[in-house]
Amino acid sequence: MTERFDYAAAAEQLPGVSETWLRRHIKRLPHTKAGRAVYFTAADLERIDQLFHHEPSTGPLATAPAPTATGKHPLASLRPLPRRGQALTHAS
């Protein structure tokens, strides 16, 4: 028989997810219901993780693009923003 998790146990298995969040979003989540009892299987928890897991596509945690064949990095032309109160200058 497969292991079943109630709301509290499922919240412990899913990092960063609270029992309250599971209860609020139950209509969108894979689960099994027997009468009023709601439970999750390991497969349900894996599917929930897949549905709501996002990898960063931009920012410091995203993987940087590889340099092009010309040798110049695609982000080499980017410069930091000036401090507050200073005007932007368009230097090329």
Domain ranges of the chain: 4-52
The pTM assigned to this predicted structure is: 0.60
Residue 22: per-residue pLDDT: 96
Q: What is the DSSP letter of 27?
A: G
- At 12, which helix (H) or strand (E)? helix 7-13
Q: How far apart are CA 46 and CA 42, in angstroms?
A: 6
Query: Phi-psi category of 41—alpha, beta or left, where left has phi over 0 and alpha has psi -120 to 50?
Result: beta
Residue 41: per-residue pLDDT: 96
Residue 58: per-residue pLDDT: 75
If you average pLDDT over residues 10-17, what whole number do you get?
93
| pLDDT tens-place string over residues 26-83 | 999 999 999 999 999 999 999 999 998 877 777 776 765 555 566 676 677 788 888 8
Residue 89: per-residue pLDDT: 63
- Indicate the burial class of 10 (C-beta count within 10 angstroms; 0-12, 13-18, 19 or more): buried
